[in-house]
A and B are shown apart, each in its own frame.
Chain A
Amino acid sequence: MSLEALVSELTETGLGTLNALKLRELKNVCKSGNGAHVASVFQTLLKALNKEHAQIRISSLQAINELFRRSHKFRLLAIGELPQILALTFGAYQKPLPRPLSQSAKLKVLATELLYAWVEIYGMAYQRLVFAFRFLRYLERVDFKIAAKTFRRRDPALVKRLRIVGEENKHEYMLRSMIAVRNDYMATRPAIEEALHALNACFGILMPEVADFLGDLCHANASDDDADVEEIMAVMAVNRHAINFDVNPNHPIDTEENSANAAVFDTIRDYLRLCVKRYQPRLELWMTRLARIDSGVDSDLGGLVESIRKLKDRVVDMAPKCADLGVDLSYLSHSNGNFSDESDDEFEAVPLDFHRSHNSGRKQMAIDSKKARRRKAHPVFSLLGEAGLEADPTYTRLGQLHSPVSHTLPASEFDTSNADRHTPVEERLLQTAPVVAFGPDLMYWDQNTINANRSGLEIRHRFLGSAREDPVLSGEAADSLRQRAIYYSDVMSRRGGAQSAEQQEIRACRAPLSSGRLCPRRDLIKCPLHGLVIDRDETGRPQGGFVEAKGEEEEIPNDPDPTALAGNDVIAPRPSTIATAESINDLEWRDVAALISRKHPPPSMSLRAQQPKRQKKAPPGEPSALIDTRKQNSTSLNRLQRVLRKR
């Protein structure tokens, strides 16, 4: 087989890998003749690389790579043509890569990987490869990081070695971290212990231990195991008056800060500040650092963690204890410069204020809200809670606004007054009577003399004279008042069964908008942006159950609803002109259009179009996987353009 044919077969399969047999043949060609044919092979491959198809270029690049790694002569040839190869595979020198687009991206990735591998393996021996690499990296700004990673990972032994090294480093780092924490802890521990000890001593001064009171009694009980119960009872009976503890459940610890205790309280505050501001954060930091270390790093780790945790618990306990004693903790949140000794002194003068400072901020607010009797005013309806508003006829309660139907005031009055006056006949009639919502027409139904509204009229005019007293509406005007306009009477609800316009709730579209909200447009039928108004859940997703529009249109004539159709003009169906036309001119286009469809041309014209297209015979062997670059992807834009072009 000729060289060109071999190369074209090798490169034009469109698959991602090269055919091993053909590749071996190519290698044999190169080997044969003592390297005489290497140049021609290279030239043929270069021509294949020049083709304007990304898949062909990928295959030829793979073939070039194979030979590159084998033959020195081939390498020299390839390096001589490097600028061209770079232009064809990387798109260097602003040469765009050919279609199909997805494959051209793959081509560039492949080229990056291969070139990096070449530079790593052969760069020391062929200087121009290094220059090519630098050119691509600095001038064309090609990213070689992924290629570098792939190259380093290609050898499993190397990967393992790297991983082991990485783990060793991690181990080393964790060990060092633990040692650092331990040193820190050892250095600071005495100071923390000292602070805790001092605080406990202060507590002891302020609040004697309960054990001290019992003192001898406890010791006696503890040491005498054999003592008789009766003996103990006798001892206890002697101290009949016993020891009284005044334990106030609200203030279990009854200490007040006064001039005598000032020094003690000062010490407490200082040490507490130290504990909270300095030691506590550090202890927490150590804990988090130790938590990051794996348990297997060192045997001391568990013990270290335990001791730090215990210390931290002791330090953390200090703050609530001090608060119970009556130390105002607010000074801790002040800036370090301000010492709040002065403010404490202020509180000392007025004990009431001092007690209040016990409470935290949250408690204070609760007390205030309880004390407030007035309900919070409504921002919009300021008269909401006022008494005596129901009697005011201009006042509408909030609930009434949503149901305009229930003008129940006059109706309910009538109902309640006439409830027991209904005869059985009337009741039966009432059951089947149609319900009409109350409106102004019903209000003026039975009134013959309707007073006109004079509120805007001038009664006394300079020239025209004065208006008549008590103008009354004329007969026509009164009749028009008793009429009621019905809108949307011919609208059928899509839910099946028509409802009157007033009963029908105008639904909101509620389609999800790109801003996150739901579309607020209200319409009975459809929203101008989102089409038909359908049932949607809270997130705007359509709930099932909405029926196709077409189906609905067919159903409606079968289901006549007398209440909705009352007073409507029923449009009589128009007979098709095809049936009634006497000549062609009488045909209406809209009847005929459906018959003359572009998709189905009249039979007389489509003889040729119906002949099946003769397909080109596919070449024997494997069908080609090459993507047809001439075929355009069908995007919506393309499809629309095609339709427009056809018209």
Chain B
Amino acid sequence: MALSETKRVAHAHSSSIHSTAIESTESRFMVSAGDDFSIKLYDLNSFETTATCTRKISPSASSATPAHNRRISCVEWYPVDNGMFTTSSLDHTLKVWDSGSLAEACVFDLESRVFCHRMSPTGAHALIAVADESAYMRLCDLRTGSFAQSLLAHHSGSMAVAWSPAQSFALVSGGNDGVLSLWDIRRADSHLYSFGCPDNANDCSPHTNEGPVVAHKGSVSSVLFAGDGSRVASIDSSGSLHVWDIECPQAPMASCQLSVAKGCNALAGPTQMALSSATGGRPNYEVLFCPGSGRSIAAVDMAAGQQIASLESHFAPTLCAAWRPSHLELYSSGMDGEIHIWCPPAAEELSEQQRRAREDTWSDSGEENNSIVDT
């Protein structure tokens, strides 16, 4: 994957982008939102051609007034169709928007800062699982407009949530205490089990009293289900990635430590990973794109659990990635407020101008671009 030379997204946000989402039905529209409190809607198929023969995608619409009062932490499309999307923000609200008119349809007021929310990709029900700062993870019902359930999830709050694509009742949540839990919302005691091994760090309990089962040392920043729902990937703020098999939660199936560039502090907020679907010809080959504080996006092979590549293009910590299956493109963004497009280099065709600029020029004759500066 290489940075696309022929396409780019216009610089629309004035501050960092915390969440982008591409709708799953047509893979045509993208929503991005972040620190500047506004929501921008892009049509990825329509672009204008600039003077340098690159195609520029500008936001086709953006929310008129500030969409939220605080940073928008998560954006998600309605899984069934692209007429609606939801945003949640640190101003304690979750809003449902109509994508045609970019108007608010519904507002849920939760009393704590919301970090993440997800809807079930199966579309069987209209429950939104909300991960916020409180110990309870609430399920909001879109059909009734009120809260359906509360799960006592994590004491210090949770930052990541994912629904299983295979079963409409199973959901995984990752908390600030490093615990990754699987839930079944049909049952009364919903908590099925937690992934991971017991945390034996404290030596003052030498007996069989085991500490809480912990998946990560730090807080879980993102959780993602693999394609068929049998695997879960979770990443925490220090960059350690674990891939779990649902059947055996004791130990991760594969794990890898993503390199963090030296000198960068670990991000302590929620991030969003993206999963590439079956990439041409290799059905089980799934690549996970993990943004991190190291200004790069790590591409990890889910099956082997190894980092394949590091996509470097950002100049500030990356926060979210979105995959576009139809064109096999990755849209990454971060704290610099820019959305970078990644695509396989074979799919690109450089213009004449661009090709000329990429040539070697070894002529020693005097060039007008002589830049030896006399100080």
Partners in one complex: yes
Pairs A–B under 8 Å by Cβ, sample size 9: A66-B371, A72-B360, A73-B360, A75-B358, A121-B357, A125-B5, A126-B357, A127-B4, A138-B337
Counting chain B residues whose Cβ lies within 8 A of the other chain, the interface size class is: 35 or more
Assess whether A27 is interfacial by the CB under 8 Å rule: yes
Assess whether B347 is interfacial by the CB under 8 Å rule: no
CA distance A123 to B50 in the complex (A): 13
CA distance A24 to B373 in the complex (A): 17
CA distance A132 to B3 in the complex (A): 13
CA distance A235 to B304 in the complex (A): 136
Interface residues of B (CB under 8 A from A): 3-5, 8, 11, 52-54, 261, 263, 295, 312-316, 336-338, 340, 350, 353-355, 357-362, 364, 367-369, 371-375
With contacts A71-B362, A127-B8 taken as known, whether A86 is within 8 angstroms of B374 at the C-beta atoms is: no
Do residues A72 and B315 form an inter-chain contact, with CB atoms below 8 A? no
Known: A131-B340, A135-B316. 20 other contacts (CB 8 A): A17-B374, A27-B362, A62-B372, A66-B371, A70-B361, A71-B360, A72-B359, A82-B315, A83-B315, A93-B263, A117-B371, A127-B4, A127-B313, A128-B313, A131-B336, A132-B315, A134-B11, A134-B338, A138-B336, A139-B336
Assess whether A122 is interfacial by the CB under 8 Å rule: yes
With contacts A127-B4, A131-B313, A139-B336 taken as known, whether A31 is within 8 angstroms of B362 at the C-beta atoms is: yes
Which residues of chain B come closer than 8 Å to A65, judged between CB atoms? 371
Question: CB-nearest residue of chain A relative to B350?
Answer: A125
Which residues of chain B come closer than 8 Å to A73, judged between CB atoms? 360
Interface residues of A (CB under 8 A from B): 16-18, 24, 27, 31, 58, 62, 65-66, 69-73, 75, 80, 82-83, 86, 92-93, 106, 110, 113-114, 117, 121-128, 130-132, 134-135, 138-139, 154-155
Do residues A17 and B315 form an inter-chain contact, with CB atoms below 8 A? no
Which residues of chain A come closer than 8 Å to B295, judged between CB atoms? 83
CA distance A80 to B311 in the complex (A): 10
Q: How far is the CB of A34 from chain B (nearest CB, A)?
A: 11
CA distance A640 to B264 in the complex (A): 41
CA distance A135 to B295 in the complex (A): 12
Do residues A17 and B8 form an inter-chain contact, with CB atoms below 8 A? no
Do residues A69 and B369 form an inter-chain contact, with CB atoms below 8 A? yes
Which residues of chain B come closer than 8 Å to A27, judged between CB atoms? 362, 364
Q: How far is the CB of A523 from chain B (nearest CB, A)?
A: 52
Do residues A70 and B350 form an inter-chain contact, with CB atoms below 8 A? no
Q: How far is the CB of A646 from chain B (nearest CB, A)?
A: 37
Q: How far is the CB of A133 from chain B (nearest CB, A)?
A: 10
With contacts A83-B295, A124-B354, A131-B314 taken as known, whether A117 is within 8 angstroms of B375 at the C-beta atoms is: no
With contacts A18-B372, A93-B263 taken as known, whether A131 is within 8 angstroms of B338 at the C-beta atoms is: yes
Do residues A80 and B340 form an inter-chain contact, with CB atoms below 8 A? no
Q: How far is the CB of A633 from chain B (nearest CB, A)?
A: 19
CA distance A83 to B314 in the complex (A): 9
Which residues of chain B come closer than 8 Å to A58, judged between CB atoms? 375
Q: How far is the CB of A35 from chain B (nearest CB, A)?
A: 8
Do residues B373 and A110 form an inter-chain contact, with CB atoms below 8 A? yes
Question: CB-nearest residue of chain A relative to B340?
Answer: A131
Q: Which of B53, B314, B374 contacts A16 (CB 8 A)?
A: B374
Do residues A124 and B353 form an inter-chain contact, with CB atoms below 8 A? yes
Do residues B358 and A125 form an inter-chain contact, with CB atoms below 8 A? yes
Which residues of chain A come closer than 8 Å to B5, judged between CB atoms? 125-127
Which residues of chain A come closer than 8 Å to B338, judged between CB atoms? 131, 134
Question: CB-nearest residue of chain B relative to A58?
Answer: B375
Q: How far is the CB of A625 from chain B (nearest CB, A)?
A: 11
CA distance A58 to B372 in the complex (A): 11
Do residues B315 and A125 form an inter-chain contact, with CB atoms below 8 A? no
CA distance A4 to B133 in the complex (A): 55
Q: Which of B313, B315, B358, B360 contacts A139 (CB 8 A)?
A: B315
Which residues of chain B come closer than 8 Å to A125, judged between CB atoms? 5, 350, 353-355, 357-358
CA distance A66 to B369 in the complex (A): 10
CA distance A636 to B240 in the complex (A): 54
Which residues of chain B come closer than 8 Å to A70, judged between CB atoms? 360-362
Q: How far is the CB of B13 from chain A (nearest CB, A)?
A: 11
With contacts A86-B315, A131-B340 taken as known, whether A124 is within 8 angstroms of B369 at the C-beta atoms is: no
Do residues A121 and B375 form an inter-chain contact, with CB atoms below 8 A? no
Q: How far is the CB of B294 from chain A (nearest CB, A)?
A: 10
CA distance A132 to B357 in the complex (A): 18
Q: How far is the CB of A53 from chain B (nearest CB, A)?
A: 15
CA distance A75 to B337 in the complex (A): 25
With contacts A117-B369, A117-B371 taken as known, whether A122 is within 8 angstroms of B315 at the C-beta atoms is: no
Which residues of chain A come closer than 8 Å to B4, judged between CB atoms? 127
Do residues B8 and A72 form an inter-chain contact, with CB atoms below 8 A? no
CA distance A51 to B367 in the complex (A): 30
CA distance A17 to B375 in the complex (A): 8
Q: How far is the CB of A50 from chain B (nearest CB, A)?
A: 13
Q: Which 5 A-B pairs have the closest CB atoms?
A: A16-B375, A124-B52, A135-B315, A125-B357, A125-B354
Question: CB-nearest residue of chain A relative to B262?
Answer: A84
Do residues A154 and B369 form an inter-chain contact, with CB atoms below 8 A? yes
Which residues of chain A come closer than 8 Å to B336, judged between CB atoms? 131, 134-135, 138-139
Which residues of chain B come closer than 8 Å to A126, judged between CB atoms? 5, 357-358
Q: How far is the CB of A280 from chain B (nearest CB, A)?
A: 52
Do residues B371 and A62 form an inter-chain contact, with CB atoms below 8 A? yes
Do residues B373 and A17 form an inter-chain contact, with CB atoms below 8 A? yes
Which residues of chain B come closer than 8 Å to A154, judged between CB atoms? 368-369
Which residues of chain A come closer than 8 Å to B368, judged between CB atoms? 154-155
CA distance A483 to B316 in the complex (A): 91
Do residues A80 and B312 form an inter-chain contact, with CB atoms below 8 A? yes
Question: CB-nearest residue of chain A relative to B357?
Answer: A125
CA distance A110 to B375 in the complex (A): 9
Which residues of chain B come closer than 8 Å to A106, judged between CB atoms? 375
Which residues of chain B come closer than 8 Å to A86, judged between CB atoms? 315
CA distance A83 to B310 in the complex (A): 14
Which residues of chain A come closer than 8 Å to B8, judged between CB atoms? 127, 130
Do residues A128 and B371 form an inter-chain contact, with CB atoms below 8 A? no
CA distance A138 to B338 in the complex (A): 11
Question: CB-nearest residue of chain A relative to B341?
Answer: A127
CA distance A117 to B3 in the complex (A): 21
Which residues of chain B come closer than 8 Å to A75, judged between CB atoms? 358
Q: How far is the CB of A223 from chain B (nearest CB, A)?
A: 83
CA distance A71 to B312 in the complex (A): 21
Which residues of chain B come closer than 8 Å to A113, judged between CB atoms? 371, 373
Do residues B312 and A124 form an inter-chain contact, with CB atoms below 8 A? no
Which residues of chain A come closer than 8 Å to B357, judged between CB atoms? 121-122, 124-126
CA distance A124 to B11 in the complex (A): 16
Which residues of chain A come closer than 8 Å to B372, judged between CB atoms? 17-18, 62, 66
Q: How far is the CB of A106 from chain B (nearest CB, A)?
A: 5
Which residues of chain A come closer than 8 Å to B362, judged between CB atoms? 27, 31, 70-71
Which residues of chain A come closer than 8 Å to B54, judged between CB atoms? 124, 127
Q: How far is the CB of A598 from chain B (nearest CB, A)?
A: 42
CA distance A62 to B353 in the complex (A): 26
Q: Which of B53, B315, B361, B375 contacts A69 (CB 8 A)?
A: B361
CA distance A75 to B374 in the complex (A): 24
Q: Which of B314, B358, B361, B364 contacts A24 (CB 8 A)?
A: B364
Q: How far is the CB of A81 from chain B (nearest CB, A)?
A: 9
Q: How far is the CB of A64 from chain B (nearest CB, A)?
A: 11
CA distance A18 to B374 in the complex (A): 9
CA distance A131 to B54 in the complex (A): 14
Which residues of chain B come closer than 8 Å to A72, judged between CB atoms? 358-360
CA distance A82 to B315 in the complex (A): 9
Which residues of chain A come closer than 8 Å to B350, judged between CB atoms? 125
With contacts A93-B263, A135-B315 taken as known, whether A124 is within 8 angstroms of B53 at the C-beta atoms is: yes
Question: CB-nearest residue of chain B relative to A107?
Answer: B375
CA distance A62 to B337 in the complex (A): 31
CA distance A422 to B342 in the complex (A): 121
Q: How far is the CB of A85 from chain B (nearest CB, A)?
A: 11
Which residues of chain B come closer than 8 Å to A83, judged between CB atoms? 261, 295, 312, 315
Question: CB-nearest residue of chain A relative to B372?
Answer: A17
Q: How far is the CB of A138 from chain B (nearest CB, A)?
A: 8
Question: CB-nearest residue of chain A relative to B337?
Answer: A138
